[in-house]
Structure 1
Amino acid sequence: MSLNANAVSPALERVHSADSGESREADVGLHWDATAHQYVAETGGHHHHHPAGADLEATIVDEKSGTEKLESDSDDDVYIEFEEGDPKNPFNWPRKKKWIISLCGSWFCFLVAFCASSFSVGISDMRNDLHVSSEVAAITLAVYPLGFGIAPLALAPFSEAYGRNPMYISTIVLFSAFTAMIGAAPNITAVALGRFLSGCAGSSGSTMVGGTLADIWVTHERGLPMSIFSAAAFIGTGLGPAVTGYIPMHIGWRWIQYIQALMGAVTFVVFLIFLRETRGSILLSHRAAAMRKESGNDRWKCKADEERASLTVLIKVSLTRPLYFLFTEPVVFFFSLWVSFVWGVMYGLLEAIPLVMKLYGANQGQIGLAFFSLALGGLIAALANPIQEALYRKNVSKKGPEARLYGAALGGLLVPAGCFIFAWTEGRVHWIAPLIGVTVLMTGIFWIYCAVFNYLADSYLAYASSAIAAQSFARNFMGFVFPLFTAQMYVRLGYDWASFLFGMIALLLAVIPFVLLRYGPQIRARSKFVKEMERVKRLA
């Protein structure tokens, strides 16, 4: 699940459009200030190609209000932009409207995370009902994050071409339908297919929300909305089993799915009432189309319509560029390896916690309540995240993007510490002790997760979305893999040694942020993408 915060903070404004290779800096009229070492609002016009001899009126961008004045070509086409103070510009919408949309997006993120984990509490009943082995049943848990990882590579261009709102509406409908399909499934194949497809549809609740928040909030306003969005996925992951734990005991495992499908249906109604399109280029495209229809004059145009590549090209780039980043960029590869492992551990906990709690004689409902420890870890990390943001503001002028890594460095140590606590207290002392380990572990995972988004966004700027998509694919792929072997590993190695092994691997990987804090600039300087961005800055 994709979370962000000040957590996945202002950096997410720079998620670029995969079709043109241009970043959101270009979309909102930013340029590189070599003195300030950052992107700032344009004070002059955009650099577009116009017919020779055209009488041009420069586009002026005000980042504070997020508006642009009209850019015109008096001899030919007229390109419309948001004028100063335009109430139709999402940046100028009332705060109440912005908050309603922000909370709708965060709720969608919470819901898909909730459904991802709540399925685990009904697995044993489902296995008995459908007469399958525990290994086969584990597949149904694992394929959900697989859908999360694969679908965005193909679906992301559709929001570029058609807007965010149609994607939200269509995917919540599909998500609800596939969730209900799981509840009605007559066999394990139907369950697995429903889980995979619901993961594909639900991925929009993770991948699009950060962009929606960047559409409506200017940088200095975005901290709190991003923090809420970031916390939603982690808290949802913990609350899913905690809230639904007693359902299989009383009305059966299928009702977990039916209740969640109903939650999705209610969400659909809420979206119809409150959600509005937030992508500025789509709103301008609609306005240009309306002006052409009203005036009968085809000169009214939107720049984004002409600069946007075909949907086929968008999909091709979206499918291939992230994988290229993953295997050719050292920073992306090692950061993805790290966050993928800890994400896999988090999904492994969905199988490990029930095994450990059974040592204490816990029933199914009590096992579900143990997952409150996951939600608590996410909440603690979200509340403490402003410390990382303060360190970033203090050190960014000296450290650059590496100033994003202080929280990750601490989080990298908390993950193995949590694993070790979980390993050597389970079954030996009070049941609260291993759950404290889970809380410590989840706090660390949250900080690592947030640092990955911010660091890659700051490091790759115009190519940020490809770098982030690369780690997202790798992370969710490991979320698919870990549940397939976690239970068997715990049985064969012993609960303590299995958790200890996870902790030792996490400890080895914890060196990554410290290496980047020391050598990050030199490593990034070797990247051909970074070299290209430096070349563009010199030409600007």
Structure 2
Amino acid sequence: MVFMRGDISGHDEQTIGKIPEEHPASGILNINLVADHHEPTKGITVVTWEGPDDPGNPYNWSHGRKWLLTALAVFATFISMINGTIFTVAHEPMNERFNISDAHFPHSYWPVTSWALGGGCFSLLILPLMEDFGVRWVFLGTFATFICFNIPQAVAQNFATLVVTRFFAGGCVCVQANTAATVIGNVWDSERSRNMPVSLFILAYLAGSSIGPVIGAAIFDHLTWRWIGYLQIIWYGALFPVYFFLFKECRGIAILGQRAKARRRQGENAYTQHEIDTQDQSILSIVGRSASRPLVMFFTESVVFVSTLWSAFTIGSLYLFTQSVEQVFTQLYGWSPSHAGYVQTAVVIGEFLGWVVTLFSGKVYFDSASRNKEIPGTPIPEARLYFAIGGGIFGISGGMFTYAWTSYPDFPWIAPAIGLAMVGAGSVIVVTGISDYVVDSYSKYAGSCMGIIAAGENTLAAFLPLATMSMYNVLGLQWASTLIAFIALALSLAPILMLIWGKQVRARSPFMKEAVVEKRRKSIGSV
């Protein structure tokens, strides 16, 4: 998942502080020199907001309008993430139709692997376009493309077609699912106001993946596996007109760009600051710059590195359940694959419980402002990790231990299901804590940080489940889950070091230093 930053009053960060005095009423600047790295440009007017109360600025929209767009984006996250795992329960008829076998390797999981890999690639290549070209048309174009790639999934006549089309479908879902993060950053202007929307987005992201096998099982039990694809085409196709008419542009630079185009049609030489700054840049150069920074930060920033591993393993564990739950419940209780799919409802229930916990986590974070000696009156970034560490230790790791050592025929099925619910709860708490901490710590580079985290999440979701069958066959049901539990425990304990040395780490990181300076500037300005 990717949390893209919102714009700052409609301007790109690199141009803040370089804009001359604004005419108080027109919202247009008459300038001779726009940015340090451009040649002087005479006779151009720069379109900006018409004062701090401009009704066109998404930050000034009514709460009802903000929540409508947020709800649409969050629902798009939930409904699109279902596509990733919905086919997993129908692997037996698919194997028979395409003449493949899971006897020695889970070949039927390749469509999910290609789907996740598509998401990892697109998270670094396509999502940055929303920052430069706006949200609405990138989202709608991706939505329409996604529907098109669902058609061959439903009618595929060979396995290669299914695997290839799933790659592009996964890439489209990555854009659709993470649009909510972009919307939230663009319409909610403070950490406190974003707290609830962000937690709902993460809940929708994780619950959508976890409920896929449940919905797939319900369809497969009453129809054929082909109908899993047919029904997706129907409901995504029915939703597209809803989004076309209700999903409005919320990216500041895009709204100002529309105003600038309208003025140019009237004969004015009007442009936005963003248009001037990027006039000599191609889409490839913009995407290349956006895609390279996440990789640099992954290898140079210890916080980004650990956060990527922690979040990726958490998401990978949820996808691992698409394979291990069937192995466990069919071996212990003789259930069919579809009935085992229903058990993953426990994961979804746990995720909802974890979401409730994150609301208390937000209160603890904001209350930490009274203890902050570094920047008085500002919450301590590491306070975001308190609940996340507990969620990792007692939720994910504790849940996996419970799942492991209740996997005996003498225990009722509800016992390992409780372990699944604990993991689900812990996953929401951990991912929310990581996302909030990285966004708070890296400020304007949050999009790059979350981009590499999303790539890591998709990579583990793609490959970790491929090892599940062999791992559970070789180690046994109990010790395979125990191994996962110990890894989760180690990753959960590592961030404790940030609670101890967080201030020193921020002082050494050039990226985090900028966030500290910005927060200090805002703190002084609010006094």
Q: Give the TM-score, by structure 1 length.
A: 0.86
Query: Do residues 511 (structure 1) and 511 (structure 2) align?
Result: no
Hey, what's the Cα distance between the residues in 1 that align with 2:75 and 2:272? 32
Query: Do residues 188 (structure 1) and 168 (structure 2) align?
Result: no
Match of 2:459 among 477, 482, 487: 477
CA RMSD of aligned residues (A): 2.6
Hey, what's the Cα distance between the residues in 1 that align with 2:274 and 2:238? 34
Hey, what's the Cα distance between the residues in 2 that align with 1:376 and 1:73? 57
Hey, what's the Cα distance between the residues in 2 that align with 1:324 and 1:191? 34
Alignment of 1:145-224 (within 5 A): 145-219=116-190, 220-224=192-196
Match in the other structure for 1:370: 343
- SS of the residue 2:29 aligns to: strand
Match of 1:87 among 36, 55, 58: 55
Q: CA deviation at 1:532?
A: 5.7
Hey, what's the Cα distance between the residues in 1 that align with 2:155 and 2:256? 43
Q: CA deviation at 1:531?
A: 4.5
Is the contact made by 1:412 and 1:507 (CA closer than 8 Å) also made in structure 2?
yes
Is the contact made by 2:117 and 2:462 (CA closer than 8 Å) also made in structure 1?
yes
Match in the other structure for 2:283: 311
Give the aligned residue type for 1:264.
Y
Match of 2:264 among 292, 311, 314: 292
Q: CA deviation at 1:470?
A: 1.4
- Structure 1 residues 506, 69: CA separation in 2 closer, same or farther (over 3 Å shift)? farther
Match in the other structure for 1:400: 380
Is the contact made by 2:58 and 2:187 (CA closer than 8 Å) also made in structure 1?
yes
Match in the other structure for 1:459: 441
Is the contact made by 1:156 and 1:318 (CA closer than 8 Å) also made in structure 2?
no
* CA displacement, residues 88-145 of structure 1 (integer Å, 9 cap, x when unaligned): 3223334333322212111110012211121211122211221102232121222222
Hey, what's the Cα distance between the residues in 1 that align with 2:65 and 2:174? 24
Query: Do residues 441 (structure 1) and 423 (structure 2) align?
Result: yes
Give the aligned residue type for 2:316.
G
Hey, what's the Cα distance between the residues in 2 that align with 1:533 and 1:101? 28
Q: CA deviation at 1:30?
A: 9.8
* CA displacement, residues 435-474 of structure 1 (integer Å, 9 cap, x when unaligned): 1001101111111111111111111112221111111111
Alignment of 1:265-414 (within 5 A): 265-294=237-266, 296-298=267-269, 300-308=270-278, 309-358=281-330, 359-396=332-369, 397-398=371-372, 400-413=380-393, 414=395
Match in the other structure for 1:70: 27
Is the contact made by 1:140 and 1:195 (CA closer than 8 Å) also made in structure 2?
yes
Give the aligned residue type for 1:284.
L
Match in the other structure for 1:501: 483
- SS of the residue 2:157 aligns to: coil
* Structure 2: gaps spanning 5 or more residues: 33-42, 373-378, 523-527
Q: Give the TM-score, by structure 2 length.
A: 0.88
Match in the other structure for 2:108: 137
Match of 1:527 among 492, 495, 509: 509
Is the contact made by 2:396 and 2:426 (CA closer than 8 Å) also made in structure 1?
yes
- SS of the residue 1:73 aligns to: strand
Give the aligned residue type for 1:487.
M
- SS of the residue 1:203 aligns to: helix
Match in the other structure for 2:36: none
- SS of the residue 1:79 aligns to: strand
Q: Tell me the matched-pair count.
A: 495
- SS of the residue 2:333 aligns to: coil
Hey, what's the Cα distance between the residues in 1 that align with 2:459 and 2:451? 12
* CA displacement, residues 26-56 of structure 1 (integer Å, 9 cap, x when unaligned): 747999xxxxxxxxxxxxx952255xxxxx3
- Structure 1 residues 95, 538: CA separation in 2 closer, same or farther (over 3 Å shift)? closer
Query: Do residues 450 (structure 1) and 428 (structure 2) align?
Result: no
- Structure 1 residues 216, 462: CA separation in 2 closer, same or farther (over 3 Å shift)? closer
Hey, what's the Cα distance between the residues in 2 that align with 1:347 and 1:74? 54
Q: CA deviation at 1:69?
A: 7.3
Aligned residues: percent identity? 28
Hey, what's the Cα distance between the residues in 2 that align with 1:521 and 1:73? 43
Is the contact made by 2:400 and 2:420 (CA closer than 8 Å) also made in structure 1?
yes
- Structure 1 residues 409, 58: CA separation in 2 closer, same or farther (over 3 Å shift)? farther
Match in the other structure for 2:91: 123
Q: CA deviation at 1:156?
A: 2.1
Q: CA deviation at 1:216?
A: 2.0
Match in the other structure for 2:18: 48
Match in the other structure for 2:402: 421
Alignment of 1:256-271 (within 5 A): 256-271=228-243
Hey, what's the Cα distance between the residues in 1 that align with 2:474 and 2:449? 37
Hey, what's the Cα distance between the residues in 1 that align with 2:57 and 2:518? 29
Is the contact made by 2:74 and 2:201 (CA closer than 8 Å) also made in structure 1?
yes
- SS of the residue 1:208 aligns to: helix
Match in the other structure for 2:375: none
- Structure 1 residues 30, 159: CA separation in 2 closer, same or farther (over 3 Å shift)? closer
Hey, what's the Cα distance between the residues in 2 that align with 1:117 and 1:69? 52
Hey, what's the Cα distance between the residues in 2 that align with 1:153 and 1:463? 14
